[in-house]
Structure 1
């Protein structure tokens, strides 16, 4: 077989059944091989960025490897944002691109780009294949590397002549290495037992380690009050009574206050991101820190941990659960205090009462959360709607919440929802987006129609870049600059042009019917939700500020009144 055929044979060997791609000159041998292969489902997206983001969404929703394919030059460069997104959120991904023939590399040939040089900082590893004989080893190593340890994207750039060259080697098919390392946890247990106000802090590393069940069992049995990062939403489950919600820049007042007052912070599978911690000098000022993670590079990167433990999160969580089940922590007073904060300092948003009133973002999301099935997967974009989902939607599992955390990629949601629908074909998948984000990859509606995917699209339209407008209002003296989107297209007509049914709602009394209508429809459907332009996300921490200095609408209005009086 030739190199291209060998790639498909390797896919079969590793049970890779779905790939996302876009053909072109230098990758054409692989597409020619696909003609004769009925075991690999190739999904043709309408832009290479859509391919990468769809592969990302597929991986996040399934826990499997995402695969994207493109040609050289602009095909490869169009993948870069999606691959960077996967790298920042540690999504396991295999990226395969064609390259100009080996003899032309370095000559500025048609559609030649230095892929390895351009992608150095956004991949876990990358390869330029120099001969067909080394392709089998590289493929197998790349597939293993992308999924083992801390996952991430691995990029293989393959010259066209290598794809056409014959190779007799067979796929190796090594199993993915997952360390079952459980260090001595005696010191961690001792610190937990001496703490009077211990707090559990979890992030996206829980699902990356496939440790969702182990974490859920630990969280319930330990009884620790808990906070989550944006990527950790869903870790405790929607019915947890100990969860104080998301912390950080747009976190709940309860979560940020608990962090501020705890005397021990148990961080598991989180990297202490700046959007979560705020100003480091003011973060958890009274707390000793235990940091448990699969990646040693995260230890002591931003905050020094008194105890840093690297190992397999499943093994560690199971051992912690066993120990604390035998002798529970005595922190009843702290639990009561956190419950009080949870009641009074959670995400507060009144449901709309007036039928003819305009639709508000938080109330809409709360209604959606009540109506949608428990196993619904939501892929959102970046902006105000992203934070409203994080604050007000009740997720029962972290793989149900797909969001661009580290890179903050507008345009992520629609292709990610496509990937998620391929990963979970029998589940309800929603893309909840803003009008700005939607236009970034709107062409992927053609992909939805092509495969008749039952993805539901919800556009929360305030005719502006809402999060930018909010920061300009609060921190730039309300000097608006280049945020108006009042020339948006008619989104209902736009969807119908792609043969996707659509409807628009503008009033509170239309919300329930609108949500129920799209959820009941058996195919794809779009719901255009008009919301107020000046609606903000509350609470908020000023960029560079401390989390304990959160601003909410009441405090902001009070400060405005005092300023006017002065």
Structure 2
């Protein structure tokens, strides 16, 4: 029996079948049929259409949905520049393992070979930014293409999948039924022989360490890791995207995060270790050439995908299977009397002494400004374990990554693979839509904020109570302090002033300014009670940034 649906309606039904809740984007002539059918759909479960102020930000929001839920978000744009504006966001999602589906309008099929209005080779362009890129040539294929894009975006290392949709494909009639809901693939299990080998390696290791990466941050893997730590107390180092895998219960197992500069407690521990269990680790987070310079004695790689092999990363054991299942099986295989040696505990205790007090450094900011640690410590006291904190790129990102603690996975979000400016506010919008009853705080610098600050209007329109902190110093400071460390001077980093309180008010949001810790405490309390988004402008003194590149311990050279 014929469907008698347009291609756009078949696409919407396919999204319903895969439980897509939102479509973010900006309309245009080549994709307006989809927007019309979304806006006026009589299907009760049709995705909600949310119009944004820039295509890149729409894709950031969709990718944020993907990171938070493990299920792809969807972004839809028109042809030409509408599609090309997706490139950075889809590239970021693919690098950082965030499932997202990009829908790009395209000129009608008979115009594809012509130099006509907004005609670009969209499919070919996205071959470099996405895991897959397909152009639909027949409306009857539209449901199959979308379902395969969904599957591609979540399989292996998650990432972006792109679909180019000629305008006439969306408007023509479909007579083929839509694809049903995808069934999750059964994960393979690790053999008992391999598990016994790992147990033997652990038993003979003097100082084993777990390096928890991006794919260790799913809830099932985190739960399995906690079960392992409850049985045997192993030290854990987080990557930035692995933030939050250590809960309060296992605080004693936490030895910091590694990323960017090789001068952290975690770097020291990885250097000292003779056995590293890399759990869901991806090299884009922090290349092995940074943390494995001395080439550790042994490495066990446990992940859903095959590792990228380099001179600096040649694991002795590679397990390519379900991470949570493997960790659970390892926990069950370990003998009940296994524990770390006394010398290992002594080594860890020494490192703990160095680690504890990192955030208690005396500060002396210029009057009218706050030291980065004052901001981090004040924010730490204002959040609970359910708070989601999204962090943009800039000097603040390094201070937050090193000093801000979080105790649930995927509640502290960083762009650490591409280090893409502008992600924080769009990710915060995604977080508030996904976790409407939890507190959401976005942290940006004054430079990065204006990459996506126009989405403040989107947050106001959706009445989302997002607290946006802006660390304001008038520079692209992450570049500035590194230039000064390298060359003794800076170039091309000075910005003009912006009154962010007035900026907030012009969008219908609330604007506050905090120049002392007390003012910041009060501003955070006011912001939490506000109806809608709030910007807090915080003048920051970055004079101590040089310490971020300095050697933390004597045996670490940067």
TM over 0.5: same fold?
A: yes
Number of residue pairs matched? 546
Shift of 1:15: 1.1
Provide Cα deviations, 1:354-404, integer angstroms capped at 9, x if missing partner. Answer: 896731112211221122121110111111111111111111112101111
In structure 2, the partner of 1:554 is none
Whole-Å separation in 2 of the counterparts to 1:517 and 1:293 = 43
In structure 2, the partner of 1:119 is 126
Establish whether residue 366 from structure 1 lines up as the match of residue 373 from structure 2.
no
Larger mean Cα displacement after TM superposition, 337-346 or 108-117: 337-346
In structure 2, the partner of 1:219 is 229
C-alpha contact (below 8 Å) 2:17/2:181 kept by paired residues: no
In structure 2, the partner of 1:162 is 169
For the residue of structure 2 that corresponds to 1:398, the secondary structure is coil
**2:83 pairs with 64, 76, 79, which one?**
76
Shift of 1:330: 3.4
**2:209 pairs with 165, 187, 199, which one?**
199
If asked which structure has higher relative contact order (CA below 8 Å, sep 6+), I would say 1
In structure 2, the partner of 1:295 is 305
Whole-Å separation in 2 of the counterparts to 1:345 and 1:92 = 35
Q: How does 1:84-123 map to 2 (within 5 A)?
A: 84-123=91-130
In structure 2, the partner of 1:391 is 402
For the residue of structure 1 that corresponds to 2:277, the secondary structure is strand
Whole-Å separation in 2 of the counterparts to 1:29 and 1:439 = 32
In structure 1, the partner of 2:358 is 348
Whole-Å separation in 1 of the counterparts to 2:303 and 2:310 = 11
Q: How does 1:209-288 map to 2 (within 5 A)?
A: 210-239=220-249, 240-250=251-261, 253-273=264-284, 275=286, 277-279=288-290, 283-288=293-298
Shift of 1:302: 4.9
Larger mean Cα displacement after TM superposition, 428-437 or 182-191: 182-191
For the residue of structure 1 that corresponds to 2:358, the secondary structure is coil
For the residue of structure 2 that corresponds to 1:439, the secondary structure is helix
CA distance 1:325–1:284, change in 2 (3 Å):
farther
Provide Cα deviations, 1:392-441, integer angstroms capped at 9, x if missing partner. Answer: 11111121011111111101111111111111111111110000100111
CA distance 1:31–1:13, change in 2 (3 Å):
same
Whole-Å separation in 2 of the counterparts to 1:3 and 1:297 = 39
Establish whether residue 36 from structure 1 lines up as the match of residue 40 from structure 2.
yes
Whole-Å separation in 2 of the counterparts to 1:17 and 1:392 = 35
Provide Cα deviations, 1:517-545, integer angstroms capped at 9, x if missing partner. Answer: 22233421111111114341643269xxx
Gaps of 5+ in 2: none
Shift of 1:507: 2.3
Whole-Å separation in 2 of the counterparts to 1:465 and 1:238 = 35
For the residue of structure 2 that corresponds to 1:84, the secondary structure is helix
Establish whether residue 330 from structure 1 lines up as the match of residue 340 from structure 2.
yes
For the residue of structure 2 that corresponds to 1:234, the secondary structure is coil
Whole-Å separation in 1 of the counterparts to 2:160 and 2:396 = 27
Shift of 1:190: 1.1
Provide Cα deviations, 1:184-205, integer angstroms capped at 9, x if missing partner. Answer: 2221111111101111111001
Shift of 1:11: 1.3
In structure 1, the partner of 2:525 is 516
C-alpha contact (below 8 Å) 1:252/1:347 kept by paired residues: no
Whole-Å separation in 1 of the counterparts to 2:6 and 2:539 = 54
C-alpha contact (below 8 Å) 1:352/1:359 kept by paired residues: no
In structure 2, the partner of 1:313 is 323
Provide Cα deviations, 1:228-257, integer angstroms capped at 9, x if missing partner. Answer: 111111111245211101124346632111
Whole-Å separation in 2 of the counterparts to 1:437 and 1:357 = 22
Structure 1 vs Structure 2 CA RMSD = 2.3
Whole-Å separation in 2 of the counterparts to 1:13 and 1:458 = 38
Gaps of 5+ in 1: 552-566
C-alpha contact (below 8 Å) 1:395/1:401 kept by paired residues: yes
For the residue of structure 2 that corresponds to 1:7, the secondary structure is helix
Whole-Å separation in 2 of the counterparts to 1:480 and 1:174 = 54
